[in-house]
Amino acid sequence: TSKIDKMMKVLLLSLAMVALVAADCYMHNPPGSNNHVDDNQNAPANRLFNSQNNNNAGYNSGRVEAAYKLYEGSILNMQWTSQHGCGNNPRLNCETIIQYRCDDEMRGGTSRNRPTDSGEEPPFTPPADEGLHEPYDNWYACDRRERNKGLFIADQNVGNEASSTRQNGGGGRSGYECAEERDYYPY
């Protein structure tokens, strides 16, 4: 496949995966994985990211060849269902933000496990069967960085690391994403 084909596959996979992270939504087109892999059971919650939607819905496929193939000039119609209120109601306030990332390192993976946290200094690449939506160095830096003490934490005791937030008080890991960056978008 050409480099453009690969980039489009990665772009579409990224759109489907990343949109789930911050929007509490179910991607229908392009199909979002919601942390699922290509089997009949749900993968463990927060395998690659924190979807914040109880690990429901999603399309099971970690195979790159299962991704859409689009070409320059193609039009992609996007469809999703929001888990929470959003629409033409003056009492509702929501934004849907589409983020994407293109590179050859991203992959859905076929393993049911979270990517390995080796504790090694970057560069470190997890085994090829493990999914990868954020680079390892992103998690490595986040796990060792002091949290931004100017962010709202309500009455939570979240500690001092950027990997802990009011929504992720225990500092649990979701793939290689940084909880502070995810929970306080735009960061």
Give the Cα-Cα-Cα angle 160, 131, 118 (nearest 5 degrees). 50
Sign of CA dihedral 64, 173, 187, 22: positive
| Regions of the chain short of the pLDDT cut 70 | 1-24, 33-36, 38-45, 51-68, 101-102, 187
Report the SS3 class of residue 90: coil
What pLDDT score was predicted for residue 113?
A: 84
Tell me the one-letter amino acid at 96. T
Count of C-beta atoms within a 10 Å radius of residue 41: 9
What pLDDT score was predicted for residue 22?
A: 44
Dist. CA 32–CA 92, nearest whole Å: 25
What pLDDT score was predicted for residue 28?
A: 74
Dist. CA 10–CA 48, nearest whole Å: 15
Tell me the one-letter amino acid at 50. N
Dist. CA 159–CA 138, nearest whole Å: 19
- The values of phi and psi at residue 21, to 5°, are -60, -50
Buried b (16+ CB within 10 A) or exposed e, 78-105: eebeebeebeeeeeeeeeeeeeebeeee
What pLDDT score was predicted for residue 185?
A: 75
What pLDDT score was predicted for residue 56?
A: 60
Taking the whole predicted model, whether its pTM rises above 0.85 is answered as no
Query: Each residue of 57-94: pLDDT tens digit?
Result: 666 554 554 556 778 888 888 887 777 777 778 888 77
